[in-house]
A and B are shown apart, each in its own frame.
Chain A
Amino acid sequence: MSIRTDLLSLAATGIALAVAAGATPASAQESVKIGLILPMTGGQASTGKQIDNAVKLYMQRKGDTVAGRKVEIILKDDGAVPDNTKRIAQELIVNDKVNFIAGFGVTPAALAAAPLATQGKIPQIVMAAGTSIITERSPYIVRTSFTLAQSSTIIGDWAAKNGIKKVATLTSDYAPGNDALNFFKQNFTAGGGEIVEEVKVPLANPDFAPFLQRMKDAKPDAMFVFVPAGQGGNFMKQFAERGLDKSGIKVIGPGDVMDDDLLNNMGDAALGAVTAHLYSAAHPSAMNKEFVAAYKKAFNSRPGFMAVGGYDGIHLIYEALKKTGGKTDGDALVAAMKGMKWESPRGPISIDPETRDIVQNIYIRKVEKVDGELYNVEFATFEAVKDSGKTKK
């Protein structure tokens, strides 16, 4: 009755092909290899794209040779899934013999790769993920993006000092969101403010409407919002649709929700939102103007804070290589990065020699219309802000 079944030989050929296809011979150490692991597909794809763009732009402008060695980028897509990140990082280190791993769109991805950086003694440059604990997970991690503690503590202080008494919070339910919430709460309540409603929304959530209705019913003075880069547009649309913009409830938060990448499409509802963040495309410096113009010309869109994280990340790699004279010893590279200071499109930044985390200015900005387009216009600056979210020793 049953026909005997198998496709064994096919399978064997298949295995052979599968393995051969991925196998790249480890070439001699002529070029410096950077494994760039980003979410290029899936919900976080826009983050990956911005960073990839920025890295390309930097190399286009500064050339692909540094300290006499060619720089080679190996771009891999992890879809923001941590087990992919881990496998890709492992393969990049073991098979491709990369000298750096970089990128990391989300916190779990950065954490998954951390033990590998330690084991392989490979510098891990975090260009996006923003939870404080990341840099504590490996002595080889250096971050060029931001931490949520930096912006959330500052907006917390600002809100308490500027007549905001009651705040409802809406944050994405994952590590960065919880960081943002906790640090905001800590500083805001210390300044005399009150949290009247606290809602955590699932990370992958297209419909904010019911949550926003809860916010509206709580009748706060302002609403503290953290959603990851890419979701801000959707949030603001529904904020306006619910008539919250007319009800006098202000939007405050770390600047992720007002990502430059999306800001201009959010409509006038976004006007007046006050956020604290590391970068605005409207940052008034010559360097930033040039950066924004070049980015717009190359990719036909506005750079957001993720792009700046990537731009500075690759800059850091270049500078570290210059310092070591092209040597790629992991310890030497990390040592070279510690304490490095430079001028970025976002303003002056440096790497904290103790925590290897970024030290940067945090700006308080308000969304305004400039030449018919929406921009975050900076009106106050807190200089050289360190990450306050590190474990107290």
Chain B
Amino acid sequence: MSASNDVSTSAMASGRWRISEVVFWVLVLACPLLFPSRYLIMTDILRLALFALSLDLILGYAGIVSLGHAAFFGVGAYSAGLLALHGIINEPVIALVVAGLAAMVLGFFTSFLVIRGVDLTRLMVTLGIALLMEALGERFSNITGGTDGLQGIEMQPLLGMFAFDMFGKTAFWYCLIVLFLLFLLARRIVHSPFGLSLRAIRNNPLRAAAIGIPVNRRLIAVYTLSAFYAGIAGALFTQTTALASLDVFAFEKSADLMLVLVIGGTGYLYGGLIGAVVFKMLQEVFQTITPQYWLFWIGLVLVVIVLVGRARMHRWALWLPNLVIRRLAGRKAVVVVPESDAS
């Protein structure tokens, strides 16, 4: 009894909000005021951030590598699209949850395939599942619209009050609120004893099993949860763009997601969020400079990041902010490098 008390106390202590986190969300809130003409790209970043957050739950916290996360994104996207297209559920928020649950069901059933095997096997099994979903989408093109995608989706106003506008304002706030709520939930989960047990499994599955953690059940649970998150991200995509085509299952989508998360840092919830910002920013800048050859410069950045070392990169990037924080709030608030990179 007392042991479990200790666990929850320590979990709670590590779950306290810090100044820097508050600053982060305040800054996020400030963005729409600072850049009122950039709602669309900001919405794009938010969706990607949520998607990356979902991958972080399994990769960063449970150590499951996945190259097929687009499967869940796609199922969420198509569920939301079909629900709206056929008028089954007209209220976007309810449809969002339903789409997330649909992805979650797929996540639950595929989790049994994924928990077996080593990294490379998992990578290929997840990839295979996503490719299978894509092939299915292509096969049943009478339902999915095939390569052309679902045509003619019209979204009803949110909660019957807020219509999606051309400037993307509604979409932005909608995505931001969903992201924040799900972030809170994820934060609660990873700081709970459940989250701690996941980390124990990631660090050493054998030892975790030896101390009585039901390894497979925990992995299934977190994989299913992660699928739910990815499904929500997919549904948000369809609802805010009124599009769903086979691209949602594409290998590139899963691969880009991996890059996003690795750039931002795995194993801490802000990694995906930061990665999404950095990745989209790089893409936007390079695409503006050279619409045809931007891929080269993205590639160069990736290579340089690895050669310099992610940990060192993060240290450099944090040097100035840390200096400022130190001046303002004293030593304690200093921002540190994520744990996965410190090792």
Contact = CB atoms under 8 A, between A and B. Distances in A.
State whether these chains interact.
yes
B53 to A, nearest CB: 13
Contacts of B18: 4, 6
Interface stretch (B31-39, B85-93, B224-232): B31-39
A41 B295 CA distance: 8
Contact of A5 (B23, B277, B339): B339
A249 interface: no
A28 to B, nearest CB: 16
Interface residues on B, range: 35 or more
B38 A9 contact: no
Interface in A187-216: 202-203
Contact of B270 (A7, A94, A108, A115): A7
Interface residues of A, number: 53
Interface string A91-116: 10111000000000001100110011
A223 to B, nearest CB: 22
Contacts of A95: 37-38
B20 interface: yes
A19 B291 contact: no
A87 B147 contact: no
B-side interface mostly: helix
Interface string A73-105: 001110001110011001101110000000000
A272 interface: no
A108 B269 CA distance: 35
Which residue of A14, A82, A203 has the most chain B CB atoms within 10 A of its CB atom? A14
A14 B241 CA distance: 25
B5 interface: no
Contacts of A370: none
Contact of A9 (B23, B141, B243): B23
B321 interface: yes
B41 interface: yes
Interface string B38-57: 10111011000000000000
A3 B337 contact: yes
A19 B31 contact: yes
Interface in B240-286: 241-243, 245, 247, 264-265, 267-268, 270-271, 273-274, 277-278, 280-281, 284-285
Contacts of B324: 9
A256 to B, nearest CB: 16
A4 B14 contact: yes
Interface string A20-57: 11110010000000000000110001000100000000
Interface in A230-251: none
A317 to B, nearest CB: 19
Contacts of B337: 3, 5, 7
A74 to B, nearest CB: 9
Contacts of A6: 18, 20-21, 24, 268, 270, 335-336, 338
B1 interface: no
Contacts, number: 179
B185 interface: no
A40 B287 CA distance: 10
Nearest to B253: A81
B70 to A, nearest CB: 13
A162 interface: no
A174 interface: yes
A8 interface: yes
Nearest to A172: B147
Interface in B308-337: 314, 317-318, 321-322, 324-325, 335-337
B281 A17 contact: yes
Given A90-B168, A94-B166, A173-B138, A9 B20 contact: yes
A12 B318 contact: no
Contacts of B168: 90
A64 B335 CA distance: 52
B237 interface: yes
A19 B41 contact: yes
Given A2-B199, A8-B335, A22 B147 contact: no
Contacts of B138: 173, 202
Nearest to B288: A22
Nearest to B247: A81
Contacts of A175: 147-148
Given A11-B270, A76-B291, A108-B149, A3 B281 contact: no
A12 B335 CA distance: 13
B28 interface: yes
A42 to B, nearest CB: 9
Given A5-B265, A5-B270, A16-B27, 16 more contacts: A4-B14, A4-B336, A6-B20, A6-B24, A8-B21, A12-B24, A15-B28, A19-B42, A20-B35, A21-B288, A22-B285, A76-B291, A83-B247, A86-B243, A173-B147, A203-B147
Interface of B: 14, 18, 20-21, 23-24, 27-28, 31, 34-35, 37-38, 40-42, 44-45, 138, 141, 146-149, 151, 166-168, 199, 237, 241-243, 245, 247, 264-265, 267-268, 270-271, 273-274, 277-278, 280-281, 284-285, 287-288, 291-292, 294-295, 314, 317-318, 321-322, 324-325, 335-339, 342
25 contacts: A2-B14, A5-B336, A5-B338, A7-B265, A7-B270, A7-B274, A8-B21, A9-B318, A9-B324, A12-B23, A12-B27, A12-B321, A14-B281, A18-B280, A19-B35, A20-B35, A21-B281, A21-B285, A77-B294, A91-B40, A107-B148, A108-B149, A112-B243, A173-B138, A202-B147
